[in-house]
Structure 1
Amino acid sequence: MAPGKKVLLAAPRGYCAGVDRAVVTVEKALEHYGSPVYVRKQI
């Protein structure tokens, strides 16, 4: 890293809104339909 530059980490760190929404959707599908629940791509 160049001198005089800083890296700032946000706290708390987490997933982007899309990933968070996808995880919540899968959790709701599991509650409603039971397992297994298949998704097209990795979350």
Structure 2
Amino acid sequence: MRANFLFIFCGSDCDLRRRQVVIKNIRICIDGVNENYYIVVVSV
């Protein structure tokens, strides 16, 4: 069974203005202005 899960907190997907750390299928985005962060988890 293949499924895609997307959990987003404090924003949408990463863009070029935000720093991001990718660990396996977990992407942690950091907004450098407000220091907000959100986690995008993609499981395939």
TM-score class normalised by the smaller sequence: under 0.3
Q: Which has the higher strand share?
A: 2
With structure 2 as the length reference, what TM-score do the two structures score?
0.22
User: Which of the two has greater helix per residue?
Assistant: 1
